[in-house]
Amino acid sequence: MSGGPVPTGSNVERFDAIIRRVLARGEEHPSLVIDIACTIGAEILDGVLPPRSDLNSVDLARRFNTSRTPVREALVTLEKEGLVEIPPRRRPRVADHGRDEIREIYQARATLLGLVATEVCERATAEEIAELRVIVTGMEQAAANGDRNGYYWGNVLLHERFTELSGDRTVIRLLNSLVLRSLRFRRLTLAQPERVRRSIADHSRLVTALEERDPQLASAMASAVVLGAHRLLDAMLEAEGVSRE
């Protein structure tokens, strides 16, 4: 995500900070609405609230010591970011994406990150690209130590900084929303040791292409990183019996 480094703290606190940066563009929302949306959204991303969990506005209003109005506004905000579903005449619930929708999310991210790679090759300084190499090195160390959580957050930070270096505000806004929709799934794939090994290699090749100012290779690698993760994720979801729709 753009706007600063991934914060330290618990996973929920980190997710809260990421969502808060994404929602900061919606300045028309009262701070209470944003606070509620960030708390609920962070719990969704961390798995505290699993897919299809009911989001009872009465219970939530009691929890946040407020009326139902800001709770409803917070849920609508999260619906726009793909984290909540609000079916007609039914209680809001945590979004449960089908495999087809997940494929669309990953394909869109792959396309946009390919564009980001081209722009980073053209715009980023050598010092800025060196920052990406430092992050990849940290990811390698986390993987070597068996620190899956550390590797996950290193991955999040790398994609955040990489996107930020493009300087393309429109692409950054689009990717921010897509990232919120995919963060849950990235944790699943990065829990697989083989995927972590492939992820390290692919990200290292991506940074090498940026260092060599090779926009075609960098674009291809940026897209391949995302599409490779999706292939594994789709196989995992199919094995679990997740429907396409």
Mean pLDDT of the 109-120 span: 97
- Model confidence at 26: pLDDT above 80: no
**How confident is the model at residue 29, as a pLDDT?**
59
When the candidates are 3.40.50.720, 1.10.340.30, 1.10.10.10, 1.10.287.130, the CATH number that belongs to 11-94 is 1.10.10.10
Q: Is the pLDDT of residue 21 over 60?
A: yes
pLDDT tens digits, 198-228: 899 999 999 999 999 999 999 999 999 999 9
Write out the residue limits of the CATH 1.20.120.530 domain(s) in the chain. 99-239
Would you state the pLDDT for residue 195? Answer: 83
Q: Is it the case that residue 196 has pLDDT exceeding 50?
A: yes
**Position 30 confidence tier, pLDDT thresholds 50, 70, 90:** low
Residue 166: strand, helix, or coil: coil
The first and second tokens of residue 105, run together, are: 């999310």
Query: Helix H segments across 126-192?
Result: 126-144, 148-164, 169-189
User: Quick one: tokens of 112?
Assistant: 């946009």
Determine the pLDDT at residue 89. Answer: 85
The pLDDT, as a whole number, for residue 191 is 77
Intervals of CATH 1.10.10.10 along the chain: 11-94
For the chain, give the mean pLDDT.
Answer: 91
Does 8 score more than 70 pLDDT? no
Q: What is the CATH number of domain 99-239?
A: 1.20.120.530
Backbone angles phi, psi at 93, to 5 degrees: -150, 165
When pLDDT is cut at 50, 70 and 90, the band that residue 186 belongs to is confident
Q: Can you tell me the mean pLDDT for 137-149?
A: 93
The β-bridge partners of 93 are 54, 85
pTM score, two decimals? 0.87
Is 70 exceeded by the pLDDT of residue 87? yes
Does the pLDDT of residue 94 top 50, yes or no?
yes
Residue 2 has pLDDT above 60, yes or no: no
Q: Which residues of 51-69 are buried (b: 16+ CB within 10 A; e: fewer)?
A: eebebebeebbeebebeee
Partners of 84 in beta bridges: 94
The angle that helices 126-144 and 148-164 make with each other, rounded to 10 degrees, is: 170
pLDDT at 6 over 70: no
